[in-house]
Homo-oligomer: A and B are copies of this chain.
Amino acid sequence: MTQPPFDKALPGHFYAVGVGPGAPDLVTLRAARLVQTADVIVAPRSSLAGDSLALAAVRDLLTTQEVIEKTYPMERDNGKTEAFWGEVAGLCADRCARGQSVVQITIGDPLIYSTSSYLLGQLAGQMEAGLIHIVPGISAFQAASSRFGDALTLQEDRLMLMPATDMAEVAAALERCETLVLYKVGPRLPALVELLGARGLLDRARLACRAEQGEGEIYLKDLTTPPAREVGYMSTVIIHLGRKGWA
């Protein structure tokens, strides 16, 4: 569990680096130094996105690094997902074996709904553990809540973070925490609005789209008037259900 210093990317080492929600100044100093000194930057890009959000966040830090953009399939298919990341892992391991330092950049945090987890899973069989490192990053829910200003958790509060995929699961979660954070809202917003409306919770639900990504940011203080147009995949809903407080 010992770690090397993080002041520069070391030859033969791989780093999964969270660059935060998108704003270049929400990158940590550690992430910035690793990106600045890496030989190779691997930047995954969703097949649905025009640009790599992670790359945009660190563009000012790029000089002579080799940048490899990899477009991953935005499909719920484990076979394709594993095949894709297996190939990327092979590339990373090969570059490290040749003595290069490799940084995979990822939007948000590498361990929270991140492509890094797939890559790390595939790398585990190809590189020794001591050469693989992870740098945390600010996740979207933190960026969103910072704009709204309400505590996510205080005292005995429970926070639940989950995707907004299954409304039955969301309904259950509403009973089990003080703050519910939903990721990947996108096309499920109408169903979510219906559920929250039936529970009288529309005024407790805040919506952020592309928080801290500079362009196309939306912040809605509640969902009593839901957005007219469709919100994207990068949308977060934060529902403040109450406070548990000290007993």
* A residues at B contact (CB < 8 Å): 1, 3, 6-7, 20, 23-30, 32-33, 76, 78, 109-114, 117-118, 120-121, 129, 132, 134-139, 142-143, 145-147, 149-163, 165-166, 169, 172-173, 176-177, 219, 221, 245-247
Contacts and interface: CB of A to CB of B under 8 A. Distances in A.
A139 B150 CA distance: 16
A154 B116 CA distance: 10
B25 A33 contact: yes
A109 B246 CA distance: 20
Contacts of A137: 138, 142
B158 A1 contact: no
Contacts of A114: 151
Nearest to A21: B136
B156 A161 contact: no
Given A146-B111, A161-B159, A28 B138 contact: yes
Q: Which 5 A-B pairs have the closest CB atoms?
A: A117-B151, A136-B142, A158-B162, A25-B30, A134-B146
Contacts of A76: 155, 246
Contact of A27 (B29, B78, B221): B29
A139 B112 CA distance: 13
B156 A111 contact: no
**Which of A25, A172, A173: most chain B CB closer than 10 A?**
A25
A157 B151 contact: no
Given A30-B23, A136-B143, A138-B138, A177 B153 contact: no
A49 B215 CA distance: 42
A112 B153 contact: yes
B120 A149 contact: yes
A114 B150 CA distance: 11
Given A159-B161, A173-B176, 13 more contacts: A1-B219, A20-B28, A23-B30, A25-B28, A29-B29, A109-B152, A114-B151, A117-B154, A120-B149, A120-B151, A136-B145, A159-B162, A160-B176
